[in-house]
Chain A
Amino acid sequence: MEIEKLTALEIREGIIRGDFSCEELVKKLYKRIKVVDKDINAYLTLCEERALEDARKVDEKVKNKKILGKLAGVPIAIKDNICTDEIKTTCASKMLEDFIPPYNASVIKKLKEEDAIIIGKTNMDEFSMGGSTENSAFKITKNPHDLERVPGGSSGGSAAAVASGIAVLSLGSDTGGSIRQPAAFCGVIGLKPTYGLVSRFGLVSFASSLDQIGPITKSVKDCALCLDVVAGYDPKDNTSSKSQETISYLEGIDAGVRGMKIVLPEELLSQDINVEIKNAIEESAKKFKELGAEVEYIPLSVFNRGLSSYYIISSAEASSNLGRYDGIRYGYRTKEFKDVYELMVKSRSEAFGEEVKRRIMFGTLVLSSSYYEDYYKKALKFRENLSREFKKVFEGYDLILSPVTLDFPSKIGEKKSNLLEMNFGDVYTSNVNLAGLPAISIPCGKSTNGLPIGIQIIGDHFSERKILRAAEAFLGGAKV
């Protein structure tokens, strides 16, 4: 058994067939983690004892011929901003360094109900703010394809874990590209579902109107399988959608793209984009044509203008969402203070990282009464407009293709000093969050020096089925 090569579907089948026991598998995985993760630094917390306990429960079920869950025995890594009962959930922040939630996020509950095995919690940019996982307060995660480079972010640990075969699949969260960009950088598959498809209960909020949890996997089918488990209405999340499909996302996933109408916004390729990525995208477009889809270039001027609205809205919401970390009830508390206000100010100043502070300040500014009209209100207007434009496109077309990133992952430390360039990386992904649309990032080639390139497939609200079908057709069922 080469665990690093197995997909979730293969593991479930292998366990049922008796090829290997779940305990054996999990033990093997931890052995591998101890070797591989020394270089990668994908995990912040491992929960080996619990995982082995859960694995033995799965084996017990197999022995007693009980019905096994959809993710039976599948080792899963969880981004460290998704709450896990009695397991530290730090958001890679000094603020929550010792925070142990007394509850599971709804997605964790669902994974456990389907017999998945939680392996550990993965590194990320602090509170999901960043695109390189360099903003973690604890660790620098490396890109498995080039240890000198970043894995992307903010779900960098989750993507690197899957890419290096130390998790079979993982959950990330995506506010402006935080699943898709690291998936592209690490050469794996990452899906950001439609806003409202997956419950946010238990996901530590960055920007509530943009955040979504989604899977990072080695195959499109694993992605569909994981979505089957985590998607669905949750009464604990008022923004979760009631009108959802009940049949499996695996159903019809092999139907191909014949007859699908796919477009590329013209503006994408005229942008300041790495030429190797540009070529790979154009090649991919041709491939979709060969697979039977109609492919067209159309003008969609709002597509690459969403970045400032994204930063205004996400920072505004973040400034409010992160207010609760005041050192009063839980989390980091400064050692010395003379009154309660100093306690709050010092705790926040000492425990938040630079990027988090920058966004809190920016968000506070754009919501303040003197700037609200000029920034926040305008951003909301743009957001409405963007949604309208996307809607128009989807009246005539099934899917939109685009790059995921402008460039390849930077060298560790290289871009940290260039904030503008760093944040500009979200240009192709954040607009999708603003419009609440689903989008997947799948590998579509490699650079001459071996770095993976990702392509993004965007669909209309709740068109995950179509997206997965196109992705599966493109990759020809291959695992990455």
Chain B
Amino acid sequence: MKYETIVGLEIHAELKTKTKIFCSCSTKFGSRPNENTCPVCLGLPGTLPVVNEEVINLAVKAGIALKCKINQISKMDRKNYFYPDLPKAYQISQFNLPICKDGYIEINSKEKIKKVRLNRIHIEEDAGKLIHSENEAYSLIDYNRAGIPLIEIVTEPDLRSAEEAVAFLKALKEILEYCDISDCKMEEGSLRCDVNISLREKGSSKLNTKVEIKNLNSFKELQRAIEQEEERQRKLYALGEGHKIIQETRRFDSSKGETVSMRTKEDINDYRYFKEPDLLPILIRNEIIEKAKESIPELPNEKRERFKNLYKLNQKEIEIIVGDRSLAKYYEELVNKGVNAKIASNWLLSDISRLINENKLTIDKFPVRPDRMSKLLKFVESGKINNSAAKEVLEEMVNKLSDENPEEIIKKRGLIQENSVEKIKPIVEKVLKENEKVVEEYKNGKKQVKGFLVGMIIKATEKKANPRVINEILDEILM
């Protein structure tokens, strides 16, 4: 029997606001435990929530970026349950009137574009964090996260494989990052993913019992968890034990590489949702929607298309450059400052990337900003310096972290490229004389030694000679 996997995702993304959703505490990550708390987010008696408008703005922005309809009247609800990390014993969330509904994201799947529908986006507050100490009889609670604003994005069950789920999450992450809605740091928990998964016979249109896997916090975990769960369910169906697949919540144990049951439907809370009486309905005026629309930058897929057409970049270059908004921004600044599109992408993907990795930086922290970089690359483009000289200059700019212009460094080091045949020719002849054996080999057909000769000649010119001119002279002499 052939089975088809049905996957839907629920993604929680922390919104990039300075303050929490219902109070003015900071949202800074990595603060001391309980540093960012106040009577409101600790749920002390008598305190009341007040909605941070920036949360509404960002949620609307997310809705528009993800092609949703915006509910101009929505409301907050209470989701009631007891847990020590939940200060009020209810989470203020949205139940039946979310702020956004009916969106979609386009992903690439098997060389085709696939539309993955979104059911809804709603806003809610995050809970605190329990810290269990292994050797102690107690646990500690850090409420810094309590009240951090979240959006929950719920897809329709449109995904059909682990690969598609990963592609979707990557595309979503990219959009949220591009629009400055969330910083999407999965390792810090600012983007978290739950999966709903079921199997059915291929061709069938009915949905079988689904299983939820909670808290998958990396693409790798998402991929492996779906594959493992798919396999578990396929085996059960194959054995005729499909009834053993029950509606339950599981988690992925990455050390065992399998999903394990957390709780079954019987333990599922009755959340007793009802309208949050402390908050008025949320009315979204047209201006807020218009403003959100204006604030949305070019989205990744639009940018890919444009980079392909305008800069003639290949697929691989586009994926890397557009995949990181900051990289794309850096790239376009170089090009806008007059650097050739191909040279810009070559340098960005080779030497700049290498230096970033070596120095453990990000492109945003890369000390050579596009204005200086473009000056350097223009020296390369015009032939005034060669590639190896340019690398030397770049390394100096990175390592010295000085504001010196490439011009000054080039002058100081005397790196201006030598293009004159008259000046290079004597050096070429000298090097050939010193390496007669190699010349002999070349003449005997071992053409690859030419590179060695070129290198020797460049070295002899203190890296100044234009390799193109050297090659021309060599060809002429060795013909």
Using a CB–CB distance below 8 Å, which chain A residues touch chain B?
Answer: 81-83, 89, 91, 96, 99, 101-103, 105, 200-205, 207-209, 235-239, 316-317, 319-320, 323-324, 326, 328-330, 340-341, 344, 364, 367-369, 372, 376
Q: Are B89 and A209 in contact (CB under 8 A)?
A: no
Across the interface, A101 reaches (CB within 8 A) one of B43, B44, B51, B279, namely B44
The closest CB in chain A to the CB of B273 belongs to: A367
- Which of B80-88, B98-106, B108-116, B322-330 lies at the binding interface? B80-88
Given contacts A201-B46, A204-B45, A320-B90, 13 further A-B contacts (CB under 8 A): A102-B44, A103-B39, A202-B46, A208-B278, A209-B277, A235-B50, A238-B48, A238-B49, A238-B279, A320-B80, A329-B42, A367-B80, A368-B272
Q: Determine the distance from Cα of A204 to Cα of B88 in the docked complex, in whole angstroms.
A: 13
Q: Are A328 and B90 in contact (CB under 8 A)?
A: no
Across the interface, A368 reaches (CB within 8 A) one of B49, B88, B270, B277, namely B270
The closest CB in chain B to the CB of A90 belongs to: B45
Q: Are A101 and B48 in contact (CB under 8 A)?
A: no
Q: Determine the distance from Cα of A83 to Cα of B45 in the docked complex, in whole angstroms.
A: 8
Q: Are A328 and B80 in contact (CB under 8 A)?
A: no
Give residues of chain B (22-78) contacting chain A, Cβ–Cβ below 8 Å. Answer: 39, 42-51, 78
Cβ of B280 under 8 Å from chain A: yes
How many chain B residues sit at the interface, stated as a range, is: 20 to 34
Across the interface, A238 reaches (CB within 8 A) one of B90, B272, B280, namely B280
The closest CB in chain B to the CB of A196 belongs to: B280
Contacts of B90 in A (CB 8 A): 320, 323
Q: Are A326 and B89 in contact (CB under 8 A)?
A: yes
Q: Determine the distance from Cα of A145 to Cα of B90 in the docked complex, in whole angstroms.
A: 43
A-B contact pairs, 17 of them (CB 8 A): A91-B45, A99-B45, A101-B44, A205-B45, A205-B278, A237-B48, A238-B280, A239-B280, A319-B272, A320-B78, A320-B90, A324-B89, A326-B89, A329-B87, A340-B84, A341-B82, A369-B272
Q: Are B84 and A324 in contact (CB under 8 A)?
A: no
The closest CB in chain A to the CB of B83 belongs to: A340
Cβ of B139 under 8 Å from chain A: yes
Q: Determine the distance from Cα of A312 to Cα of B456 in the docked complex, in whole angstroms.
A: 92
Contacts of A203 in B (CB 8 A): 46
Contacts of B87 in A (CB 8 A): 324, 329
Cβ distance B476 to chain A, nearest Cβ, rounded Å: 83
Contacts of A82 in B (CB 8 A): 46
**Mostly helix, strand, loop or mixed at chain B's interface?**
loop
Q: Determine the distance from Cα of A38 to Cα of B443 in the docked complex, in whole angstroms.
A: 120
Cβ distance B83 to chain A, nearest Cβ, rounded Å: 8
Q: Are B42 and A323 in contact (CB under 8 A)?
A: no
Contacts of A205 in B (CB 8 A): 45-46, 278
Q: Are B272 and A326 in contact (CB under 8 A)?
A: no
Which 7 pairs from chain A and chain B are nearest by CB? A323-B89, A367-B272, A208-B277, A209-B277, A204-B45, A83-B46, A202-B46
Q: Determine the distance from Cα of A369 to Cα of B51 in the docked complex, in whole angstroms.
A: 27
Across the interface, B48 reaches (CB within 8 A) one of A200, A328, A369, namely A200
Contacts of A367 in B (CB 8 A): 80, 272-274
Give residues of chain B (389-410) contacting chain A, Cβ–Cβ below 8 Å. Answer: none
Using a CB–CB distance below 8 Å, which chain B residues touch chain A?
Answer: 39, 42-51, 78, 80, 82, 84, 87-90, 139, 141, 270, 272-274, 277-280
Contacts of A328 in B (CB 8 A): 84, 141
Q: Are B279 and A324 in contact (CB under 8 A)?
A: no
Q: Determine the distance from Cα of A367 to Cα of B45 in the docked complex, in whole angstroms.
A: 22
Q: Are A239 and B82 in contact (CB under 8 A)?
A: no
Q: Are A320 and B272 in contact (CB under 8 A)?
A: yes
Cβ distance A281 to chain B, nearest Cβ, rounded Å: 33
Across the interface, A364 reaches (CB within 8 A) one of B39, B45, B47, B272, namely B272
The closest CB in chain B to the CB of A330 belongs to: B44
Contacts of B141 in A (CB 8 A): 328
Cβ distance A458 to chain B, nearest Cβ, rounded Å: 22
* A324, A326, A340, A341, most chain B CB atoms within 10 A: A324
Cβ distance B139 to chain A, nearest Cβ, rounded Å: 7
A-B contact count (CB 8 A): 98
Contacts of B273 in A (CB 8 A): 367
Across the interface, A317 reaches (CB within 8 A) one of B84, B270, B277, namely B277
Q: Are A238 and B46 in contact (CB under 8 A)?
A: no
Contacts of B51 in A (CB 8 A): 238
Cβ distance B193 to chain A, nearest Cβ, rounded Å: 27
Q: Determine the distance from Cα of A105 to Cα of B82 in the docked complex, in whole angstroms.
A: 26
Q: Are B46 and A105 in contact (CB under 8 A)?
A: yes
Cβ distance B19 to chain A, nearest Cβ, rounded Å: 14
Contacts of A320 in B (CB 8 A): 78, 80, 89-90, 272, 274
The closest CB in chain B to the CB of A340 belongs to: B84
Contacts of A239 in B (CB 8 A): 277-280
Q: Are B50 and A236 in contact (CB under 8 A)?
A: yes
Q: Determine the distance from Cα of A103 to Cα of B44 in the docked complex, in whole angstroms.
A: 10
Q: Are A201 and B89 in contact (CB under 8 A)?
A: no
The closest CB in chain B to the CB of A364 belongs to: B272
Contacts of B88 in A (CB 8 A): 323-324
Q: Determine the distance from Cα of A369 to Cα of B47 in the docked complex, in whole angstroms.
A: 28
Q: Determine the distance from Cα of A323 to Cα of B91 in the docked complex, in whole angstroms.
A: 11
The closest CB in chain A to the CB of B49 belongs to: A238
Across the interface, A316 reaches (CB within 8 A) one of B39, B50, B274, B279, namely B274
Q: Determine the distance from Cα of A118 to Cα of B440 in the docked complex, in whole angstroms.
A: 107
* A81, A202, A376, most chain B CB atoms within 10 A: A202
Contacts of B139 in A (CB 8 A): 340
Contacts of A202 in B (CB 8 A): 46-47
Q: Are B39 and A238 in contact (CB under 8 A)?
A: no
Q: Determine the distance from Cα of A204 to Cα of B44 in the docked complex, in whole angstroms.
A: 9
Contacts of A81 in B (CB 8 A): 46
Contacts of A99 in B (CB 8 A): 45
The closest CB in chain A to the CB of B88 belongs to: A324
The closest CB in chain B to the CB of A127 belongs to: B45
Contacts of A323 in B (CB 8 A): 80, 82, 88-90
The closest CB in chain B to the CB of A369 belongs to: B270
Contacts of B42 in A (CB 8 A): 329
The closest CB in chain B to the CB of A348 belongs to: B82
Q: Determine the distance from Cα of A105 to Cα of B48 in the docked complex, in whole angstroms.
A: 11
Q: Determine the distance from Cα of A329 to Cα of B141 in the docked complex, in whole angstroms.
A: 10
Cβ distance B326 to chain A, nearest Cβ, rounded Å: 37
Cβ distance A276 to chain B, nearest Cβ, rounded Å: 38
The closest CB in chain B to the CB of A202 belongs to: B46
Known: A317-B277, A369-B270, A376-B274. A201 touches B39 (CB 8 A): no
Q: Are B274 and A96 in contact (CB under 8 A)?
A: no
Q: Are A344 and B46 in contact (CB under 8 A)?
A: no
Cβ distance B66 to chain A, nearest Cβ, rounded Å: 28
Contacts of B84 in A (CB 8 A): 326, 328, 340, 344
Q: Determine the distance from Cα of A167 to Cα of B152 in the docked complex, in whole angstroms.
A: 52
The closest CB in chain B to the CB of A82 belongs to: B46
Contacts of B49 in A (CB 8 A): 238
Cβ distance A436 to chain B, nearest Cβ, rounded Å: 12
